């Protein structure tokens, strides 16, 4: 148990090096006019990989287990993750960036955080987009917990099949990402964000009203995923475009930490709140947050 905790902790620590660099590298590899499409492709392929992983994970693990057993190696299924990380590392090694390393000997972690916060203070567009992403991931994390209760109310699923609802959200997000890539540049990003938040709020309200119906629940989970794409992709593109190149690593590092917090707290709190107040009030409260955030975007103003 403690070894698994230590491994998970170390993996999270190393992710803090990779994730900010990943987001900072995208605008260096892609022309500015193609950033929206690039982020859409990034989100679509990420969701597709997640869905395929849920579908093929068990057969692949069994194949590795029996394949390695045939040559006298036990627990071969645990080779899957190192293999995937290794292939990813080789893929990244082929990328060439025209980047001049900048070394500073007076930098420390507090200065890095302070510089990142200064960018958020000076650039309202970056601050607003980052807050939208934090809110979105908080809502999605709460949905991960609520999916168990939603699946429990559906006779054809049951609580152990809640992953089906999450997979449908992933399908919706992938569809939304493709749509944003095709026509997203024709719309103002503030209105896209408001539309995404409104779609999420509408889906959450109807999920509470129509819970127990398999078809409607799956459809609404997919629609919620579309709303998430309408919000997440323009917001991430705005951060990449409006953050100075020299500050991207610091801002994306701060973004990654805030999103991790946004993912963690609802996972801890949502279950307890649902147990005390019930599923329907929690869905309404989450929908209310989404509506309030949509109104703050003031989509009725001329852009």
pLDDT of 303 above 60: no
> Regarding the domain with residue range 2-43+124-296, which homologous superfamily does it belong to in the CATH classification?
MFS general substrate transporter like domains (1.20.1250.20)
Q: Considering the chain, what percentage of its residues have pLDDT values greater than 90?
A: 8
pTM of the predicted structure, to 2 decimals: 0.78
Q: How many CA atoms lie within 13 A of 167 on its CB side?
A: 12
Taking residue 166's Cβ as centre, other Cβ atoms within 10 Å add up to 19
Residue 6 — very low, low, confident or very high, per pLDDT cuts 50/70/90? Answer: very high
Taking residue 220's Cβ as centre, other Cβ atoms within 10 Å add up to 26
Each residue's pLDDT tens digit, 214-242: 889 899 999 999 999 899 888 888 888 88
Q: What pLDDT is recorded for position 199?
A: 93
Q: What pLDDT is recorded for position 202?
A: 92
As a whole number, mean pLDDT of residues 12-40 equals: 83
3-class SS string, the chain: CHHHHHHHHHHHHHHHHHHHHHHHHHHHHCCHHHHHHHHHHHHHHHHHHHHHHHHHHHHHHHHHHHHHHHCCCCCHHHHHHHHHHHHHHHHHHCCCCCCCCCCCCCCCHHHHHHHHHHHHHHCHHHHHHHHHHHHHHHHHHHHHHHHHHHHHCCCCCCHHHCHHHHHHHHHHHHHHHHHHHHHHHHCCHHHHHHHHHHHHHHHHHHHHHCCCCHHHHHHHHHHHHHHHHHHHHHHHHHHHHHCCHHHHHHHHHHHHHHHHHHHHHHHHHHHHHHHHHCHHHHHHHHHHHHHHHHHHCCCCCCC
Based on the number of CB atoms within 10 Å of its own CB, is 114 exposed (0-12), middle (13-18) or buried (19 or more)?
Answer: exposed
Using alpha carbons, select from 85, 53, 79, 82 the residue that is nearest to residue 66: 79
């Amino acid at each position: 148990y403690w070894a698994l905790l230590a491994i998970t902790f170390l993996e999270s620590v190393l992710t803090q090096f990779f994730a900010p660099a990943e987001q900072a590298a995208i605008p260096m590899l892609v022309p500015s006019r193609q950033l929206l499409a690039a982020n859409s492709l990034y989100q679509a392929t990420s969701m597709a990989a997640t869905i395929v992983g849920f579908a093929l994970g068990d057969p692949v693990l069994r194949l590795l287990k029996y394949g390695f057993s045939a040559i006298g190696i036990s627990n071969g299924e645990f080779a899957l993750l190192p293999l995937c990380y290794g292939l990813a590392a080789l893929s990244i090694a082929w990328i060439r960036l025209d980047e001049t390393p900048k070394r500073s000997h007076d930098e420390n972690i507090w200065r890095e955080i302070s510089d990142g916060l200064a960018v958020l203070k000076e650039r309202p567009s970056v601050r607003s987009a980052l807050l939208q992403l934090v809110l979105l991931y908080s809502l999605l994390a709460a949905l991960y917990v609520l999916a168990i209760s939603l699946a429990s109310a559906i006779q054809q699923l049951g609580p152990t099949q809640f992953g089906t609802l999450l997979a449908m959200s992933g399908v919706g997000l992938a569809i939304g990402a493709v749509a944003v890539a095709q026509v997203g540049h024709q719309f103002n990003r503030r209105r896209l964000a408001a539309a995404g938040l409104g779609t999420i709020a509408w889906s959450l309200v109807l999920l509470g009203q129509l819970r127990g119906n398999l078809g409607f629940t799956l459809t609404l989970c997919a629609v919620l995923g579309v709303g998430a794409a309408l919000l997440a992709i323009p917001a991430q593109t705005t951060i990449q475009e409006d953050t100075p190149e020299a500050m991207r690593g610091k801002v994306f590092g701060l973004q990654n930490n805030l999103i991790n917090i946004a993912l963690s707290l609802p996972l801890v709190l949502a279950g307890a709140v649902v147990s005390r107040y019930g599923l329907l009030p929690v869905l309404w409260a989450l929908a209310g947050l989404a509506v309030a955030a949509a109104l703050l975007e003031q989509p009725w103003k001329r852009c």
